[in-house]
Amino acid sequence: TTGLDPNSRKSVWDMIRRLQEENNMTVFLTTHYMEEAAKADYIIIMNEGKIEAKGTTYELKEKYAKDKMIIYTKNNTFFMHYLS
């Protein structure tokens, strides 16, 4: 749905959900939008071809987003300068 306006994006999602429900279909979807991923029943997060995390939205939020933030950077000195 990259490049679509919000209404078109919603229409695509409505169609996917309708097809899934009417046909009892499994849908595999790739996205960079967290709000889209949150609509899934089960999520797998991949990085450079490797599975980094998997679970339901609730499970992933409980494990990774509960009052903490994980930041990966290649230049720690530069990043730490702006945090202090």
Taking only the tens place, the pLDDT of each residue in 5-60 is 989 988 998 999 899 899 998 888 888 888 888 888 899 999 999 999 999 988 99
d(CA 43, CA 32): 12
pTM of the complete model = 0.61
Note whether 54 and 48 are within 8 A (CB): no
d(CA 2, CA 30): 11
**How many Å is the Cα radius of gyration of the chain?**
17
